[in-house]
Structure 1
Amino acid sequence: MRLPVYLYGHPVLRKTAAPISRDYPELKKLIENMFTTMYASEGVGLAAPQIGRSDRIVVIDADPVKDSFPECEGRKFVLINPEIEVLDGEAVSRGEGCLSLPGLSENVSRVENIRLRWVDENFEPHEEVITGFLARIVQHECDHLEGKLYIDHISMIRKQLIKGKLNNIIAGKTRCDYPAKYAPKKR
């Protein structure tokens, strides 16, 4: 089932997500719905807070960007309770967008070498060194689990320059090509 994507300004996007356990209700169905929502929205990653769930679950399918970033070929993950360790290396600035921030894209500086630890949908543990653009995708999605958005990594000047666009998202004046849930109206 295709779920609405929660947009900038919604409080769930700023909460730290809670770890989940094996007895999480209807986990397989949630994961299936997350992939359906991500594909229908033309994303390569989706974190549970983006569908209104403050839980430590991320789905990624980086294969659509394999032509530009070969390390992404065939890389499809379900990350439950992921942990990232930053490894040595220079930070690289690249453009990022987000389903929760429709119509926006900003250059964000991130490291390209990380160690990722997680459990999959069967609660099997995994550990892997991930590099390049795939590392960027993982960091971006895992930021959502900490209540962070990619715009938290840009300069104050850039934030000022896009403030009107951000306010339009909060006010529900921005449209996207997928079902969305806007921030609650303030009274």
Structure 2
Amino acid sequence: MAVLPIRIMGDPVLHSPASPVEAISDEIRELVADMFETMDAAPGVGLAAPQVGVPLRIFTYSYPDDDGNPWRGVIINPALWMRPAEPGEPDPDEESEGCLSFPGERFPLRRSEEVLVTGIGLDGEPVRIQVDGWRARIMQHEFDHLDGVLYVDRLGDGDWKTVQKIVRKRGWGRPGEAWTPGIDDLEA
């Protein structure tokens, strides 16, 4: 297993829809193992294959269940169903997100409170996850990556202008920009 470089906003792989996985091969299994290693090293609660430069519809996640036990998994070729988000402005204390591909920043974003995600696991068996709250936010965030959408792309005008200033200041927004957890001094 290896910790992979995480692409930063502006890299084309982050802004294009990912392709479906055609077959679960040893190469896919190795990629998923590396994604878990990278996600844990970052540290993060989710990681999509495009974030490590691989344009495939795969994401990993890791968070505690209702009893505090770790719940980790991978979803390949996911589909997402969600309830519409409540109208209104997001609460900055309760609805802020960060992203490993826009490290070091958090912005409030309204998301659906409940989602259903289906797909397949590494064993080829169907996966079905129905979650709410913070876990639903994770699923929506990672699914967005597979469609070439970063959470900052969904922000309102004021926060979007702040994002653009950060991008210019840090020299991001170019192909090939990346950071490696454990090596580079960046955090999500």
TM-score (norm 1): 0.83
Write out aligned runs for 1:97-136 (5 A). Answer: 97-136=98-137
Structure 1, unpaired ranges of 5+: 181-187
State the partner residue of 1:138: 139
**Structure 1 residue 175: deviation in Å?**
9.3
CA distance in 2 between partners of 1:153 and 1:71 (Å): 32
Which digits, 9 at most, give the CA deviation of each residue in 1:79-105, with x for residues without a partner? 100110113663665110001101111
Indicate if the aligned counterparts of 2:85 and 2:111 stay in contact, CA closer than 8 A.
no
**Structure 1 residue 128: deviation in Å?**
2.9
Summarize the Cα distance change of 1:150–1:5 in structure 2 as closer, same or farther, 3 Å threshold: same
CA distance in 2 between partners of 1:82 and 1:164 (Å): 33
- How many pairs are equivalent? 174
1:79 to 48, 70, 75: 75
Which digits, 9 at most, give the CA deviation of each residue in 1:91-120, with x for residues without a partner? 665110001101111001001111111100
CA distance in 1 between partners of 2:120 and 2:158 (Å): 38
CA distance in 1 between partners of 2:40 and 2:180 (Å): 12
Question: For 1:109, what is the secondary structure of its paired residue?
Answer: coil
Indicate if the aligned counterparts of 1:72 and 1:134 stay in contact, CA closer than 8 A.
no
2:172 to 167, 170, 173: 170
**Structure 1 residue 74: deviation in Å?**
2.5
Summarize the Cα distance change of 1:141–1:169 in structure 2 as closer, same or farther, 3 Å threshold: farther
Summarize the Cα distance change of 1:155–1:136 in structure 2 as closer, same or farther, 3 Å threshold: same
Question: For 1:102, what is the secondary structure of its paired residue?
Answer: strand
Indicate if the aligned counterparts of 2:48 and 2:59 stay in contact, CA closer than 8 A.
yes
Which digits, 9 at most, give the CA deviation of each residue in 1:37-73, with x for residues without a partner? 111111111000000000001010113xx6xxx4874
Structure 2, unpaired ranges of 5+: none
Summarize the Cα distance change of 1:60–1:175 in structure 2 as closer, same or farther, 3 Å threshold: closer
